[in-house]
Amino acid sequence: MQKLLLSFLFVCIISSKGIYAQNEHAFKVKDFYEYSLDHGQCHQWLQYLSDSIGGRLAGSQNALDAVDYTFEVLASMPGVDTVYKQECTVPRWERGAKEFVEIIYGGTSLALNALSLGNSIGTGDKGIQAPVIEVFGLDTLELLGRKNIEGKIVFFNRPMSQTRINTGYAYGEAVDQRVHGASRASKYGAVAVLVRSMTTKHDDLPHTGVQSYQEGVEPIPSIAISTNDANKLHNALESYPVEAYVRNYARLLPDTISYNVVAEIRGTTHADEIILVGGHLDSWDVGGGAHDDGSGCVHSMQVFANFSAIDYKPKRTLRCVLFMNEENGLGGGKKYAEESNRKGEFHLAAIESDSGGFTPRGFTCTATAEVFPKYLANLQEFSEFLDPYDLYLKPGGGGADIGPLKSQNGLLIGFKPDGQRYFDFHHTAADVYKNVNERELKLGAASITSLVYLIDQFGL
């Protein structure tokens, strides 16, 4: 009987200790939320990055200013062991003077809201005037053949689907026109391309973004027009033969040097297991790169600030990495992984925030097939801590900058804020500080901090 009673007491002690331990983690998560919401500085940092510095195209002075600024902020945080700039090679593309695009039809002409796409060449002062032919996909080019395309301006007008709930998915379905349209059309003799902006919104804002010339194909100017203007051009083509005149001054200069910014808090007991949080410092040149991806940078910095504020000594090594050149070649992400592999490092987890500063919805994750099932099973343990904040954890993409780390067999995690308004701003002049809500941004930082904390405490 006494033995039974002792066993019972023992079980009670163990259980209550278990509950106490679980509560301790729940309280810590709550602390991170409260600190972020009450004292988080991420919104002010974003104001500096986005309004004071502005657009931060890799290779530009603005991008270097952003490197210096974020380096200083991270270096000023107590408890951060190391901050350094990691050199990487980046392309240098310049938009040059404002683009001019007009369409001429039925005895009238109409100027369109236009932006050269990243890496596009320019027409120079003379510009190019040619008849317009509309297509809805890359494969249509082959059907039309050289006889229909040669000497023309190809207008890619497949809209992003309105009905995909996941707007990122809709973007993925439509963006091939923007990335590969120019090269594919050039093969059949096109002289330039116009591309419908990548957004579900109907407005006058043109959206830029990367486009890529295939080697061995003659590069031709590649320009985005707003969705409203794409609809106008479509309507004009229904009734008239339409010519377009395009003039732009974009040019690609020789590669140059820029930097990732890396900060580190060394782990106390498992220093060789790295947990990375990161976003990308560079942005397109128009707007202020506020959602894309100033938000991801200040999220990541706020994670470090949260740990710094409570003097948290992580078991594992925490890294905050602000990548350079995500938009235009992934120079920084590739360099970071290369250096990491060279040193034989192991990233147990890498969390990328590159989907804007909106209300957090959760995290998606991926890994190599051999380790993913184990990670997925272990992640179940975190649900009880994340459920109160309505955060999901499910399979899905990690992110472009952390992608090259996959071969280290850690877990790659994408932070997923609500995506419904992301493509209202993405790569436009409207991607500015005032369009990022302070509470939503701070909640994002708190969510990521919580996940980093749980991985540090429980492992994977």
Which residues here bind a second copy, judged by CB under 8 A?
Answer: 33-34, 37-38, 162-163, 165, 167, 200-201, 359, 361-362, 388-390, 392, 418, 420-421, 424, 437-440, 443
Contact by Cβ (8 Å): 424, 362:
no
**Strand 243-247, strand 128-135: pairing:** antiparallel
Dihedral through CA 378, CA 384, CA 386, CA 392, nearest 10? 70
Comparing CB distances to a second copy, the nearer of 240 and 389 is 389
Our CA angle for 239, 244, 247, nearest 5°, is: 165
Q: How far is CA 29 from CA 66, 264, 306, 447, 449, in A?
A: 30, 21, 11, 9, 8
Q: How far is the CB of 442 from a second copy (least distance, A)?
A: 9
Comparing CB distances to a second copy, the nearer of 176 and 438 is 438
Q: How far is the CB of 38 from a second copy (least distance, A)?
A: 5
Comparing CB distances to a second copy, the nearer of 65 and 418 is 418
Comparing CB distances to a second copy, the nearer of 37 and 252 is 37
Our CA angle for 194, 197, 200, nearest 5°, is: 145
Contact by Cβ (8 Å): 240, 105:
yes
CA 97 to chain centre: 27
Write down the residue that tokens 């949080």 correspond to.
277
Comparing CB distances to a second copy, the nearer of 30 and 334 is 30
End-to-end CA distance of the chain: 41
Comparing CB distances to a second copy, the nearer of 80 and 436 is 436
Q: How far is the CB of 434 from a second copy (least distance, A)?
A: 12
Comparing CB distances to a second copy, the nearer of 49 and 443 is 443
What does the block give as tokens for 306?
Answer: 């949260």
- Rg (Cα) of the chain, in Å, rounded? 25
Comparing CB distances to a second copy, the nearer of 424 and 431 is 424
Write down the residue that tokens 């459920």 correspond to.
387
Q: How far is the CB of 49 from a second copy (least distance, A)?
A: 21
SS3 385: helix
Q: How far is the CB of 114 from a second copy (least distance, A)?
A: 24
Nearest to 155, CA basis, from 194, 117, 181, 184? 194
Tell me the C-alpha distance between 12 and 19, whole Å. Answer: 10
**Long-range interactions of 139-143: CB distance < 8 A, separation 24+:** 141/184, 141/185, 141/187, 141/188
Dihedral through CA 241, CA 244, CA 245, CA 251, nearest 10? -150
Q: 404: how many CB neighbours lie within 10 A of its CB?
A: 19
Comparing CB distances to a second copy, the nearer of 348 and 391 is 391
CA 340 to chain centre: 21
Residues 6 or more apart in contact with residue 23 via CB below 8 angstroms: none
Q: How far is the CB of 19 from a second copy (least distance, A)?
A: 22
Q: How far is the CB of 141 from a second copy (least distance, A)?
A: 27
Q: How far is the CB of 275 from a second copy (least distance, A)?
A: 24
Q: How far is the CB of 203 from a second copy (least distance, A)?
A: 11
Comparing CB distances to a second copy, the nearer of 71 and 453 is 453
Residue 405 pairs in a beta bridge with none
Q: How far is the CB of 78 from a second copy (least distance, A)?
A: 23
Q: How far is the CB of 418 from a second copy (least distance, A)?
A: 5
Question: What single DSSP character describes residue 48?
Answer: I
Comparing CB distances to a second copy, the nearer of 18 and 388 is 388
